Structure 1
Amino acid sequence: MDSIPKKLYHIHRFNSRSHLEFYLSGKEDMVFGEDSLKFPMMNLHYVFSRGFICGNLLIDLTMGSVIHHLYSASNIFQDIIIMKFSEKCSMARRSSWQGDRAGAFSWNHTKTSVEELEGKSDQIQDKELNLKASIKHIVTCNLEEENLTHPLVLPLADCVISEGLLDVISKDEEDYMRNLEKVSNLLKIGGHLILFGLLNTTYITAGADRFHMMKYNESFVRSALSRLGFVIDYCAAQRRRNVSDLIDYSHIIFITAHKEK
């Protein structure tokens, strides 16, 4: 495995459609449903339903063209800004799902999960429309800048969600800390950061390519958050529930933390 060269998510071309089909589709042979679909949605529903995360603006930094994790967020936040390091991912989001284009990736299977979590089967269609209305901007950002959206300056967010992105853009622990600090700079004092990560992982496959992922454990990410002035409010980790050589993680982790300084 280690002898195969790995590409970098934010530098090389990442096949976002293949990523969706491999890890997030509703196909019967899609083995990642427990980890990549149910676990994030269940934990997001839980923390948002508790009421301690609130505000008007949410910023989302998630790898690929993923949207299912934002259903619960759109119950709370009127304005959602999506940041992408890949222009292709930005274009896919704008032109397909948001524009209801033919051939767009279907998220219908995630609506069933929303229905089960919230018990609102008669409002599922409204939920998708509500999410689309909440997404105000999709912007492409630059990892080389301290302000990720330079020269655009965004208002500070009440909440930032990052699903898997820090794992694929960070080369090592030092790099992860720099990137986490840039993400922290998007938040207000008192605002909440929601992180999804994959523990003990070194690669992810998308299309015919294998991409680098930074290997770390739960202790490291807890320490990193503490060093940057965050206090963890909630943490859940789940052992891998699938067998596949597309990716080599051991656990998926979900952390909610608030920014104290």
Structure 2
Amino acid sequence: MADFTDPREYEEKFDPRLYLETYFHLGSGSLADDFLRFVLENFNKTFKSGAVKGCTLIDVGTAPSIYQLLSACENFDDITVTWHTKRELQELQKWLNGEPDAFDWSSIVKHVCELEGNRMSPKEKEEKLRGKIKQVLMCDVSKTNPLAPHEGPNADCLLTTVCLEAACRSYESYGTALKNLSNLLKPKGHLLMAGDLGANYYEVGPNKVFSLPVNEKFLKEVISGSGYELVQLVSFGKPEDADFGSSDYEGFYFVHAQKI
């Protein structure tokens, strides 16, 4: 088995629009409802605290999602979003361009606006985020410079959600990816990560998408062993009455770490 997922596997089998329609309508009753509320609340708390702020933020594995950036755009003016496959990029570009057939993020944007005290309307929030996104680049976490061939200023913050578990096929390569990502960060720069605990897969249509099953012990060890200091690890266990056959996840995690 390869250390990293071949992007051709995603190009051929992963339908980004179906993925969004399946998991990103908040309140639809999918397993992502719990995940989204957990992650959005933790991003909101982290950015609202003022502990994570600066000029430059790079989101690793953005496409085709924007939910993870809705609170981040309050604290950063220069956001780089990244993609790994052309199909993902096409879906992201529709939203960036405000095209009528872009995915409808309104349920999630509304929720974030409520968490932030309704200081602006959902439409204003989306426009604010669009205005903060300055670059759209290809990203490959298997490379020493994940944004190659682009060379840019090191970031104040890296953000990545449900990415490394999909990209890395082994625990060793997960650590390699974290070390590669640290090359994009300033010293004492912040790393924010969120994802599933214990998941081997999640379903998108008829396809089972690979996920590397991680737990809290592994996350603590791999973060400290990859050049970061763990600031916070928050987890949420799968509710006992949850009955979702679309993934074998055991819970969710949120991590805040700093580059040493």
TM-score, structure 1 normalization = 0.90
1:180 aligns to what SS in structure 2?
helix
Residue 144 of structure 1 and its aligned partner are, at CA, apart by 4.5
1:202-242, Cα deviation, whole Å (9 max, x unpaired): 11222321121111211101111111221122221001244
Question: Letter of the aligned partner of 2:250 in structure 1?
Answer: S
CA distance in 2, matches of 1:169, 1:122: 35
1:64-103 alignment to 2 at 5 Å?
64-94=63-93, 96-103=94-101
Question: Letter of the aligned partner of 1:23 in structure 2?
Answer: Y
Match 2:7 to one of 6, 10, 23: 10
Alignment partner, residue 3 of structure 1: none
Residue 26 of structure 1 and its aligned partner are, at CA, apart by 3.8
Alignment partner, residue 136 of structure 2: 138
CA distance in 2, matches of 1:101, 1:27: 24
CA distance in 1, matches of 2:211, 2:258: 25
1:48-70, Cα deviation, whole Å (9 max, x unpaired): 11111111000001364110111
TM-score, structure 2 normalization = 0.91
1:229-240 alignment to 2 at 5 Å?
229-240=227-238
1:113-124 alignment to 2 at 5 Å?
113-120=111-118, 122-124=120-122
Corresponding pairs, count: 252
Change (3 A) 1:215 1:26: closer
Question: Does 2:34 align with 1:38?
Answer: no
CA distance in 2, matches of 1:9, 1:27: 33
Alignment partner, residue 61 of structure 1: 60
Structure 1: runs of 5 or more not aligned: 1-6
Match 1:153 to one of 128, 151, 154: 151
Residue 29 of structure 1 and its aligned partner are, at CA, apart by 4.1
Is contact 1:8–1:211 with CA below 8 Å preserved after alignment? Answer: no
1:20-39 alignment to 2 at 5 Å?
20-26=20-26, 28-35=28-35, 37-39=36-38
More deviation, 165-174/242-251: 242-251
Alignment partner, residue 259 of structure 2: 259
Question: Letter of the aligned partner of 1:44 in structure 2?
Answer: F
1:11 aligns to what SS in structure 2?
helix
CA distance in 2, matches of 1:197, 1:120: 27
Alignment partner, residue 4 of structure 1: none
CA distance in 2, matches of 1:71, 1:200: 27
Which 4+ residue blocks in structure 1 deviate beyond 4 angstroms? none
> Pairwise CA RMSD of aligned residues?
1.8
Question: Letter of the aligned partner of 1:201 in structure 2?
Answer: A
More deviation, 50-59/9-18: 9-18
Alignment partner, residue 102 of structure 2: 104
Residue 180 of structure 1 and its aligned partner are, at CA, apart by 1.2
1:246 aligns to what SS in structure 2?
coil
